[in-house]
Amino acid sequence: MAARAAGKLYRNFMRQRVISTSIGASRHCSSAATSAPKIPHSSKKGRLLTGATIGLIIAGGAYVSTVDEATFCGWLFSATKLVNPFFALLDAEVAHKLAVSAAAHGWVPREKRPDPPILGLEVWGRKFSNPIGLSAGFDKNAEAVEGLLGMGFGFVEVGSVTPVPQEGNPKPHIFRLRQEGAIINCCGFNSEGIVAVAKRLGAQHGKRKLETSSSSSPLSEEAKHGGKAGPGILGVNLGKNKTSEDAAADYVQGVHTLSQYADYLVINISSPNTPGLRMLQGRKHLKDLVKKVQAARDEMQWGEEGPPPLLVKISPDLSKEDLEDIAAVAVALRLDGLIISNTTISRPDPVNKNPVSAESGGLSGKPLFNLSTNILMEMYLLTRVAWSFVSKRYVLLVFGY
């Protein structure tokens, strides 16, 4: 009896537990069904749009993978035009720093298309893949040499580099003249100094040389095409410190420290933003300066490629007499070349009608074209006459502003 009663009690207990569980589950399901929101029609459209976008990206990626490298490279360079308006909204100096930083970190397109052979030229035994280069003033501290050469420039010139770090003139440094297609800068050789630049160039030099030797056969034409460290020519532009009393010593120090990395060297004596600098363009000062710098370069040990060529960068604001003096010194000392020209302190029409033209500093851009071209013509005529009598090794090379 006790056993039957216990069994009946156990069966009743289990029956009630099952019923209770079923009711609880049904209540839970009912609650969930009641609380679940309906998916709005707009959300469905959003999901469809997202899915279509992802599909397009995947399809685009698949298509790009089948496109040749040259075509894809062209797309990338075209796409950069979309970014230009953004930079135009920024402060000029901020935009400049961002651009240098982007090139330094490899956030710029890389030119994969080979230059047409007709664009190549050989000067001083160095082969330029094309004659379009980036002059000094953009990458002052050699932060982005690899990135800039990778964009397809035939050469990149860093600097001006001063022996001791200096901030340059008070800010703001750069002023835009949008309608005239020009800028005015009064930077004043702002530089991190030759020690910092030498460290960067040393690291980049080794990296570029290693990449060139690993990617090209030692006997291939591509390996021979370029400068000391590989494809692309590197120029180093030397300046003097604002407070220096011995300009020649500053340039000599730059030669001793940086010439080992340079495919060519530039003596910058024409910036309008360093007091007294343009006085060095006078006949006597220039002759003494070039002699000392040449001696400093030639006393160093050089391999088969020899010392880097030495050029002088001149102003577009020189008189006829000044140009004759510079030409005479250049030919007499067998200078390797001249860079024509630096920025101008003049304000030609229509720049002079722009209120920004009242800012001090050097003007560059479209308004400088006629002035610098006239100086180029004058120097060509002056040096061509002396060239036939003195030295056929003399080269007049123009790199831009």
Contact present, 182 and 242 (Cβ < 8 Å):
no
The pair of three-digit structure tokens given for residue 259, joined into one six-digit string? 């010439």
Contacts of 45 (CB under 8 A, 6+ apart): none
Location of structure tokens 């589950």: 25
The pair of three-digit structure tokens given for residue 285, joined into one six-digit string? 């000062």
| Local structure of 369: helix, strand or coil | helix
Dihedral (CA of 388, 394, 398, 401) sign: negative
* Angle (CA) 68 71 74, round 5°: 150
- The span from the CA of 255 to the CA of 250, in Å, is 9
Residues with active-site annotation:
271
Residue 73: CA atoms inside 13 Å, Cβ hemisphere, count? 11
Sort strands 362-365 and 155-161 into parallel, antiparallel or unpaired.
unpaired
Contact present, 323 and 382 (Cβ < 8 Å):
yes
Q: Across-strand partners of 158?
A: 236
